[in-house]
Structure 1
Amino acid sequence: MASLGVAALQLAAGSTGNLELVEREVRAVAKRFPWLDLVVIGELAIHGASVDLAEPAGGETEQRLAALAVETGLWLVPGSLYERRGDAIFNTTPVFNPSGEVVARYDKMFPFLPYEAGVEPGRDYVVFDIPGAGRVGIAICYDMWFPEMIRTLAGMGAEVILLPTMTNTIDRDVELSIARANAAINQCYFVDVNLAGDLGVGRSAVYGPGGDVICETGAGREIIALDLDLDQVSRMRHRGWQGLGQVLKSFRDSDVRFPLHETVGARRQVMQAMGPLEMPEKERKEPTEDAADEGADRKPRLTIID
């Protein structure tokens, strides 16, 4: 049976300076659950959301994470780090194997613009194989709002998709519905791990290849340790969930064209009327001439109560 032991750590992190916390938590979960293969934590968990703390690839933080992977014997997906390359900064997830080697490096394709300003988008999809288990895909937070991206990872054979997340806003409910839908329509495990504490509202979740709810957490520190049955992914993709929709095969066999996706220029032309991607401003409504006159004629009223 093909299985993957995964721990998703929803850490109660401070706004920055969380490397020692990550090291303690990974060591603790490795000791408590010796059957684990892989540990994943939330987006930007270690240094927080400041691009001023960006490091080059292979910097001090990565060196300590590599040593942690060797020490624990785990595959390590340490959320993400802001990584500096020349004059550019990327939101990057390095993937460490148990030998401490970086076997993959994923750059977030959809920085959370206009808020995540100054971060370059990635260009390459990333999947990696864990020997004896299966194939894992990586996306980061806002990436999952773009179904074309998650479908591509599934098309590349990903049986489990890991989504390090840092969400501290009111749209977490919507994100969970999107995460669950992504699991169902791509017939894969979907592991969406958020942060708690100063950086996130928690509520991490794991969904199965039928869109089934495996785990949904609360708002504080929580550890999700699961033994994922990857044979179930193959079965779902072959037979459908409960013998129902065989979604990926239907997509494969269809001759439907998607003109919007055929070129970058096509979608830009169709969606141009939406205007530029920029920070929303406070809306100010200019009073009409009639409204201004009406306001001028209005006199205060005095109500006397005996």
Structure 2
Amino acid sequence: MGVAAIQTAGEATGNLELIEQEVRSAARRFPWLSMIALGELAIHGASPEKAERAGGATEQRLQSLAAETSLWIIPGSLYEDRDGQVFNTTPIIDPTGQIIARYDKMFPFLPYEKGVASGNSYVVFDVPGAGKVAVAICYDIWFPELVRTLAAMGAEVIIVPTMTNTIDRDVELAIARANAAISQCFVVDLNVAGQQGNGRSVIYGPGGDLIYEAGAGREIMALELDLEQVRSARSRGWNGLGQVMKSFRDMPGRFPLHESVDARSEAMRDWGALEMPTRSIVPESAKLSQPSKTPRLTTTNNKGSV
């Protein structure tokens, strides 16, 4: 399956025309492509205030772009307003321009991604003649239960649109690699650059092997993913080693923590609320501005001054 992962270096918002140009350029340069993917919120940026209705103007332009180029398009994500709730959503658009599914981010980056609702449905879809592809969004991959579920549903490639501009990008690379190895699939973790993120998109193979890591700026990563590698890894083990997914399938033990929301909540109830961290050190200027709680001691010296 020919995939181009485009790491855009856009403005903070307003990048739809840029992305249309990038998609058209990649389609012309690499005629063997079947899919193009972009980073999280690359088009309109990270403000839920820019949420559109599902099927709105942006999605319509992306649908026209997919039909024009005859490509699958995974356009990063958009904030969408549905029934009064805002979701961080990836529409999956097929080469005829039809939206075949919408994936809502299950784990908004709380407490920072405030006001964004959690999705509750997994999305795994067939690319005819190639195999099964799934979508997760950014913070989702920090939760191995989600990725394992996608793999158990047959996903051979997991596309992860991401928007990261913080110091934990290096940690995310380790997480993406671990997810590829433990779920024996390709993981395309696609970050944004420019004013939106710090880049370093990565593509890992089904053994956790690094295929490519981008730099900090604009890049178009066009490559062919051989999905037979996934099938071999799951059947025989990567390089004849662990058959991880089959071991997970056949292990008779249970995981009580995952059996209900109540069980999970009870196990972790003492950890406190999920809320924004506060300043832990009071600045000296703030201390000086506060009234003193101790009486002032006055003395006199030999010159009579106080």
When the two structures are superposed, what TM-score results if normalisation uses the length of structure 1?
0.92
**Would you say 1:174 and 2:171 are equivalent positions?**
yes
The answer for the alignment partner of 2:292 in structure 1 is none
1:273 aligns with 2:270: yes
Instruction: Report the secondary structure of 1:114's partner residue.
Output: coil
- The CA distance in 2 between the partners of 1:181 and 1:232, in whole Å, is 17
Offset of 1:283 from its aligned partner? 1.0
- In the aligned structure 2, how far is the partner of 1:211 from the partner of 1:127? 21
Q: Is 1:48 aligned to 2:52, yes or no?
A: no
Residue 229 of structure 1 aligns to a residue whose secondary structure is: coil
Partner of 1:199: 196
**Residues 84-112 of structure 1: CA deviation (Å, up to 9, x unaligned):** 01210000000100100001100000000
Letter in 2 for 1:141: C
**Deviation of 1:284 (Å):** 3.8
Deviation per CA, 1:183-215, whole angstroms, max 9, x where unpaired? Answer: 000000000000000000000000000100000
Runs of 4+ aligned structure 1 residues displaced above 3 Å come to: none
Look up the equivalent residue of 1:61 and give its one-letter code: T
Distance in 1 (CA, whole Å) between partners of 2:219 and 2:269 is: 43
Question: What corresponds to 2:58 in structure 1?
Answer: 61
Could you say which residue in structure 2 is the equivalent of 1:242? 239
Give the match for residue 137 of structure 2: 140
Shift of 1:239: 0.5
Amino acid across the alignment from 1:197? G
- Correspondences of 1:1-306 after superposition (within 5 Å): 4-284=1-281
Q: Distance in 1 between matches of 2:176 and 2:214?
A: 14
Letter matched to residue 50 of structure 1: S
User: 1:104 & 1:187 partners in 2: Cα distance?
Assistant: 24
Aligned residue for 2:151, secondary structure, equals helix
CA distance in 1, matches of 2:13, 2:228: 39
Residue aligned with 2:160, SS: strand
Secondary structure in structure 2 of the residue aligned to 1:236: helix
Structure 1, residues 95-142: CA drift from partner, whole Å, max 9, x if none?
A: 100100001100000000000000000000001101000000100000
Match of 1:301 in 2: none
Q: Distance in 2 between matches of 1:201 and 1:134?
A: 31
| Pairwise CA distance, 1:256 | 1.3
Using the alignment, how far apart are the partners of 1:274 and 1:15 within structure 2?
35
Measured in 1, the distance between the counterparts of 2:256 and 2:87 equals 30
Q: Deviations over 1:200-253 (max 9, x none)?
A: 000000000010000001000011001000011000000001101000000000
**Distance of 1:206 and 1:128 partners within structure 2:** 20
In the alignment, which residue of structure 1 is the partner of 2:291? none
Q: Deviations over 1:152-186 (max 9, x none)?
A: 00000000000000000000000000000000000
Letter of the structure 1 residue corresponding to residue 173 of structure 2: L
Please give the secondary structure, in 2, of the residue aligned with 1:220: coil
Distance 1:230 1:136 in 2: 10
Distance 1:43 1:69 in 2: 18
**What's the secondary structure of 1:249's corresponding residue?**
helix
Counterparts of 2:249 and 2:82, CA distance in 1: 38
Identity of aligned residues (%): 66
Q: CA deviation at 1:47?
A: 0.3
Root mean square deviation, CA, Å:
1.7
Letter in 1 for 2:255: F
Structure 2 unaligned segments of length 5 or more: list them: 288-295, 297-306
Matched AA of 2:78: L
With the length of structure 2 as denominator, give the TM-score of the two structures: 0.92
